[in-house]
Structure 1
Amino acid sequence: MTAHWELSGEYAEACNCDVACQCIWLEPADDDGCTAALAWHVTDGQYGDIDLGGRKVAMLIVADEGVMFDPSTQWDVVLVVDEEATDEERAAIEDIYLGRAGGIWAPVADGHFRSTEVVTAPIEFERNGKTTTATVGDDVSMEVVEKAGFNEETGTISPHPLTSSLTMKTAKSTHATVAYDDRYDWDLGGNNAYVCDFELTNA
């Protein structure tokens, strides 16, 4: 039986679309195929009896041309787990983010994941006012800044599937580089980004 899990904390992503990302409206990405780096700082989290608070997770995605969430669109994925995680914590994170434990990642993995690789690395995640930075070893570095509207408040966008509220804050990357291997190698500074205080569960 799948263990109950719930995660909450801070989230940031940077992708290749101009602001704002076309995937939200089920349109093709600006360059047809999506390339994105996602990062989570889990401040509170449980997988059954396993405490995941304090762990950090990242994901690199390269999607086929077309609409990212179209049933025929396949993704290649690298899941990066905080190197400070214990074996038990790492296994729990893999179960959650590779869709084996239900929640939003189950239909995403079943419908879209063509290839998956799991690695560990040091992950740093920091939010300072409207600026969020994340680094993954020497392979990923991104800084995203929230974008304000006419009332000087950060804009929001909905529906975004990776938080229970479905609402993300709009942002723009000042830099967003990935140099993992030839498949995952890009520089997307100045493009779309989202941040939020996220909550996800399989309840």
Structure 2
Amino acid sequence: MTTEWRITGDYVEACNCEVACQCVWLEPPDDDVCTVSLVWNIEDGQYGDTDLTGRKVAMLAYTEEGVMFAPDTEWYVALLIDDEADDDQRAALEEIYFGRAGGIWAAVADAHFETTEVTTAPITFSKEDDEISSTVGDVVTMDVVGKAGFNEDIGTVSPHPLAKGMEPKTGKSRTATVSYNDEFAWDVSGNNSYFAEFDLANA
């Protein structure tokens, strides 16, 4: 039987699309490829008896071409887990984010994950109003700010499956760099960012 889990907190993503990323509307990304980094700050979390509160997770992903969520689009994925996680926490987070424990990642992994790898790194995450900064060791640097529209209100998009209420805020990255290996290496600073509270579970 699948272990019951739930994680809540804040997350941020930064990709190569100009504001705003059209994957939400099942359209091809800019240049027909996607390069994206995402970080989750788990403020409250549980995987069975394993407490995940305070842990952080980053995911790097890229596609070669096509609509990101089209059935035949393959994702190449690297998962970076907070190096302060103990063995049980790391195992639990791998189960969740590689889709083996059900929930939203199960469908995504089954349909799209072509290759996966996992490692650990120190992860920082700070949020003040509509500005978020995150680092993942010497691999990821993200510094994003909310993108205001009419009436100086921060924009939102919908539907987005990772955001609580499926409606994240729109942002723009000041810095969005990745340097993990030859495959996961890009600088998409000055482009799209989404950020939101999240509430993910498998029950």
Match of 2:175 in 1: 175
The answer on 1:139 being equivalent to 2:139 is: yes
CA distance in 1, matches of 2:116, 2:152: 40
Deviations 1:48-73 (A, max 9, x none): 11110100000000112000000000
TM-score normalized by the length of structure 2: 0.98
Identical pairs, percent: 60
Match of 1:64 in 2: 64
Match of 1:124 in 2: 124
AA aligned opposite 1:15: C
Q: CA RMSD in A?
A: 0.7
Match of 1:8 in 2: 8
CA distance in 2, matches of 1:130, 1:71: 34
SS in 2 for 1:142: strand
SS in 2 for 1:71: coil
Match of 1:28 in 2: 28
The 8 Å contact of residues 81 and 118 in structure 2, kept in 1 or not, is answered as yes
Number of residues paired by the alignment?
203
Match of 2:86 in 1: 86
AA aligned opposite 1:13: E
Match of 2:103 in 1: 103
User: How far off is 1:164 after superposition?
Assistant: 4.2
The 8 Å contact of residues 164 and 197 in structure 2, kept in 1 or not, is answered as no
CA distance in 1, matches of 2:29, 2:150: 27
The answer on 1:154 being equivalent to 2:154 is: yes
AA aligned opposite 2:78: V
CA distance in 2, matches of 1:175, 1:93: 27
Deviations 1:122-151 (A, max 9, x none): 000100221101100011101010111212
Higher helix residue share? 2
CA distance in 1, matches of 2:56, 2:107: 22
Greater Cα shift, 35-44 or 144-153: 144-153
AA aligned opposite 2:52: L
Structure 1 unaligned blocks of 5 or more: none
Deviations 1:61-99 (A, max 9, x none): 011200000000000000000000000000000000000
Match of 2:193 in 1: 193
CA distance in 2, matches of 1:16, 1:102: 29
Deviations 1:18-41 (A, max 9, x none): 100010110111011100000000
AA aligned opposite 2:58: A
The 8 Å contact of residues 164 and 196 in structure 2, kept in 1 or not, is answered as no
TM-score normalized by the length of structure 1: 0.98
AA aligned opposite 1:36: V
Match of 2:37 in 1: 37
CA distance in 2, matches of 1:95, 1:165: 24
Structure 2 unaligned blocks of 5 or more: none
Match of 1:74 in 2: 74
AA aligned opposite 1:172: K
